[in-house]
Amino acid sequence: MSLSVQQQKLYKSGLVYALISYGIWGIFPLYWKMLLDVPPPQILAHRVIWSLIFLFLMLVWRRDRIFLQYLSSPKILGTLLLSGALIGGNWFTYIYAVNNNHIVDASLGYYINPMVNVLLGVVFMKERLSRIQIIAVAFAFAGVAYLTFHYGRIPILSLVLAFSFGLYGLIRKKANLQSMPGLMVETLLLAPVALWYLWHVNTLGAGSFGHSSRLSDILLMLGGPVTAIPLFWFGIAATRIPLSTLGFIQYLSPTIQLLIGILVFSEPFNTAYMVSFGLVWIGLGIYTYSVILAIKRRNA
């Protein structure tokens, strides 16, 4: 088999892994909506615990011991404690948004996220914005500002999701750690708090696990694989297709979420949201164009 054919097969498989990963993340609202009878903090705590168990078993099966190196380094542990707090906050905010009828706001957050990444790159990585990127960020800012002005309140959920995930990505990028072992250590560091919280609510008679429907118990347990498997597939995709291609596909997730929020759960999408999303989409379009230009210049 020639190298070009092999590369083509890797590209196609990477594309499939990326589409499946972002597709699963896109339909997450349907999953968390099935747990409406469970309070969001309990869903988060179970997600942490079952993710830890699943990730540990997966790493043992793969004979991957890198997480032991992470556990033996105080510096890495400190970094992963911070990144773990950010991803935990992101998970909680998303679950809360979905189960309180704010799926549209959640999708806006993930549309804004690429622009947040650009700003974080400027502030923390000393990157310089081109003129076209400044215009793109300005459109995204205008979209958020319009929604704020129209409703007289800042879209907190959208911004928390965008910035928590952006900061998480920034910290993990600077730390340069492997995805799955890093996530396992993050959940391990969050696990004591999660276990204490679940024990506490259970002693108060408010625990849902084992006291609700069997379906809810199964869904809470499956929160581990549902969290880890798409991330694992995403990691495979990232090594097989260009980052620019991955950048295009990432918009699949918030688009699916937006459609689910509007068409399945009948969340409002009035003129104010149309204008706000329109401005953000224009910004994303300009930013994507700037990325394509940069790639063409590098390959020239």
**Domain assignments of the chain as residue spans, ordered by start:** 13-299
Burial of 3 (0-12, 13-18, 19+ CB in 10 A): exposed
Q: Which pair of structure tokens corresponds to residue 282?
A: 């224009």
Torsion sign across C-alpha atoms 178, 77, 185, 197:
negative
- Give residue 260's pLDDT: 95
Looking at residue 50, its pLDDT comes to 95
Pick left, alpha or beta for residue 257 (phi over 0 → left; psi -120 to 50 → alpha; otherwise beta). alpha
Helices marked H in 27-73? 28-33, 40-61, 66-71
Q: To which residue do tokens 């979209």 refer?
A: 143
Low-confidence stretches of the chain (pLDDT < 50) are 1-3
pTM of this structure: 0.87
Q: What is the pLDDT of residue 3?
A: 46
The predicted pLDDT at position 170 comes to 86
Position 299 scores a pLDDT of: 67
The CA angle 218-32-187, to the nearest 5 degrees, is: 75
Cα–Cα distance for residue pair 299/46, rounded to 1 Å: 47
Helix (H, G, I), strand (E, B) or coil at 127: coil
| Helices and strands (H, E) in the chain, number of each type | 13, 0
- Report residue 175 as tokens: 């730390």
- The residue assigned the tokens 């960020």 is 137
Handedness of CA 60, 64, 70, 73 (dihedral sign): positive
